[in-house]
Chain A
Amino acid sequence: MKPRPPETRRPGKLLLRRSLLAGVLLGLSLSLGATLSLWAQGMRPPPPRASAPPFDLKDEAVVTEGARMFQQNCTGYCHGREGRVARAPKLRGRQFEPAYLYERIANGFPPMPSYRTILADEQIWKLVAYIMSLADKEE
């Protein structure tokens, strides 16, 4: 852990800073409280809105990269190889809306982990592209 730099606040700005800090803390604690409350009830916080994909989801390079990421993050114990049957839902040969896939990956669906803090937006879209590419694949 890096040591914090020494504080060099000017007294005149202290009150303003404190008010701002209090406001931010209040806001944070309210939102955290709401999240924890939902959490305690076993509910998920509202999903972030899926942004638009930053590239063509059919781009071959994107799909290839998505396949590599899928193998590293999603198969093994969870989804089957190349989206085949597993305890987690089978993804092969199924039609999905891109926004649905994005939100499911970003938010998770217990016990599926949420990836929004682990993967960048662009990486999540690469996974979406790969899963979309499995729609017309046979067993």
Chain B
Amino acid sequence: MRERRWWLLTVCSLVALALALPPPAGAQTPGMSRLLNQDDPNNWPTYHRTYSSWRYSPLAQINKSNIKDLQVAWVHQAGAIIQGLESTPLVIDGVLYYSASYNRAFALDAATGKEIWHYYAKLDPVVNTLFFQPYNRGLGAGHGKIYMGTLDGRVIALDMKTGKVAWETALVDTKKCSCNFTGAPLVVKDKVIVGQTAGEYPIQGKIFALNAQTGQKAWEFNTIKDDPKSWGGDSGKYGGGGGWMTGAYDPALNLVYWGTGNPAPDYDWGEARPGYNLYTSSVLALDPDSGQLKWHFQEIPHDDWDYDSGLGESLILDRDGKKLLVHQNKSGFVFVYDRTSGKIENVWPMIHTYNFVKSIDPKTGELIGRNSPREPGKPHFICPWIAGGRSWNSGSYNPKTGLWYNTAMEACEEVTVEKQTPVTEPAAGLFFGGDQVAKHPPGGEAYGHLDARDPVTGARKWTVNYKYPPIGSVLSTGGGLVFHGDLEGVVHAYDADSGEQLWSFRTGSGHRGGPISYAVNGRQYVAVPSGLGSLVLGLYPALWPEVEDFPAGAALFVFTLPK
């Protein structure tokens, strides 16, 4: 008995001592257990805020009744405006981190916008020869570090407090492959996961995992399956794919969900790449510890249209006892899976204008009545256009309304397929296998819309139309609001229940990034990246010549309520 009391006393003293001492340096930065919980409503710790990819902030201080009073708290200028501002910021414990073109990264006081540090990557001049540049779509955070994929093929870890480089790892040979990293890394437990660009180049695209502490490569997954049945002849050598956007993670199943890029060449003149071309234009479920493939579903077998699965957030939802994954393919169709097995639960179109298939079987996911442009030199009318039914910008799922707020584009194109020989020397050259020009849909003008829909059935509650198809991500909040910036440079706040516009603000340049919400010292903020730029914008002037002159920019507008 006496011995037990002694032990108890010792343990109590040690605990008291531990509580009295300042925590060790590492403990002040968010540990993975906290990031995994992602339950701090004040923070936005990962690209889609949570591993479930909802882009939903539970904060409700800014709400339907007071949104009319919203005003600018501060503005930060990234200084590099080429290709605009495509990223989504992160906020962790009162510090806002965001990235901009040319791999600029900033840490700012989230309440005032005052800079804490900045990091401008020294990039290899090869960047200037690439198609995928100079934009960056976001950062990863964890282990006291900020992670950024670079335009010249590296992943860099920055000390969260100082912005100093903790480690850097070159993952691809950009000088050779013309490929790189533009998407936000996903931090899962002790790993940083990131996928490369590839789909428009004659290379093999991969998804990588690195040790988050050291930068050492843990595994890589080749999105080009080594299988002659899937890739006839030597076409697999040039198969493209990759995984250029950010995936999702289910901690309970320990599965990472990642969408893959389109096959190369984008178009097939008939013999370019015989087979289904696995694992391009697919959703993968990977074991984050080993990189092992647990299941996959190819949304577009033998993709003939550049409708890749690299874009499209992977919404993790549970409904009626089912563990679901909702993933939108670039074709404008939304695939609903049982996320334990990859079995199709439903497929529904989020656009009205499509002719690349007659339909997709909602029970099996099979493409019915394919309309493939195959005749070289002959223009072929296809809907949706190569920018997709939606681009890589994300929607937002609000658990309070049960609705998914998502943008869509109603536009078509004329594709002309041309036989092309892959160029790999001295560096990989673009490998489209044809080109296209944007066209209005039959009998009407192209346009875009923001819809509130049930993510599983597709049932529509409300719609807001836009003249120019929007390419910005959506934010929804616990305050019953939906934020979305348009191509003309106006950010709107809508009533999440009705779609009624409650507030708007002109930021002066169009929106391509992701708005977020966070709180510091009990005060809620909404941060809106503004700055027009994007490869897909190149398609717009054929339909609306004035878009040629829409101004670029790169500014982060942060709003709050008056004190």
Contact = CB atoms under 8 A, between A and B. Distances in A.
Interface of A is mostly: loop
B73 interface: no
Interface in B521-563: 533, 535-542, 545, 547-548
Interface in B360-391: 386
Given A36-B122, A84-B542, A114 B128 contact: yes
Interface in B436-495: 436-437
Contact of A117 (B120, B427, B537, B542): B427
A64 interface: no
Contact of A80 (B120, B430, B536, B541): B541
Interface in B387-430: 416, 418, 420, 426-427, 429-430
- Which of A39, A76, A113, A118 has the most chain B CB within a 10 Å cutoff? A76
Interface stretch (B53-61, B130-138, B248-256): B130-138
A40 B548 contact: no
Contacts of A72: 418, 420, 429-430, 432, 435
Contacts of B535: 77-78
B125 interface: yes
B373 to A, nearest CB: 14
Interface stretch (A9-17, A53-61, A85-93): A85-93
Given A71-B418, A81-B435, A111-B82, A87 B129 contact: no
Contact of B435 (A39, A71, A114, A115): A71
A41 to B, nearest CB: 11
A80 B542 contact: yes
A86 B426 contact: no
B322 to A, nearest CB: 39
Contacts of A73: 429-430
Nearest to B435: A75
A87 B134 contact: no
Contacts of A75: 435, 437
B14 interface: no
A76 B545 contact: no
- Which of A68, A110, A111 has the most chain B CB within a 10 Å cutoff? A111
A85 B120 contact: no
Nearest to B414: A81
A113 B547 contact: no
Contact of A86 (B120, B129, B538): B538
A113 B542 CA distance: 21
- Chain B interface bracket (under 10, 10 to 19, 20 to 34, 35 or more): 35 or more
A117 B128 CA distance: 10
Nearest to B128: A114
B128 A113 contact: yes
B82 A85 contact: no
B80 interface: yes
Interface string B110-137: 0000000000101101101111011000
Nearest to A38: B125
Interface string A99-112: 00000000010110
Contacts of A84: 437, 542
Nearest to B426: A117
A108 B82 CA distance: 13
A5 interface: no
B83 interface: yes
Given A81-B437, A86-B542, A111 B133 contact: yes
Given A40-B120, A76-B432, A76-B538, A108 B128 contact: yes
A75 B415 CA distance: 12
B129 A115 contact: yes
A94 B416 CA distance: 25
B436 A86 contact: no
Contact of A77 (B416, B538, B548): B538
Interface string B83-127: 100000000000000000000000000000000000010110110
Nearest to B541: A85
Given A81-B437, A110-B128, A117-B129, A76 B82 contact: no
A119 to B, nearest CB: 8
Contacts of A113: 128-131, 133
Contacts of A76: 386, 430, 432, 435-436, 538
Contacts of B83: 111
A71 B434 CA distance: 7
Contacts of B134: 110-111
B429 A110 contact: no
A73 to B, nearest CB: 6
Contacts of B123: 39
A80 B64 CA distance: 44
A121 B391 CA distance: 36
A48 interface: no
Contacts of B133: 110-111, 113
B427 A118 contact: yes
Contacts of A40: 120, 122
7 contacts: A45-B125, A71-B435, A72-B430, A78-B535, A87-B537, A87-B541, A111-B134
Given A111-B134, A117-B427, 19 more contacts: A42-B80, A68-B418, A72-B418, A73-B429, A77-B131, A77-B386, A77-B539, A80-B437, A80-B538, A80-B541, A81-B435, A85-B541, A85-B542, A86-B541, A87-B538, A108-B129, A110-B82, A113-B128, A118-B429
5 nearest CB pairs, A to B = A77-B538, A87-B538, A77-B535, A75-B435, A81-B437
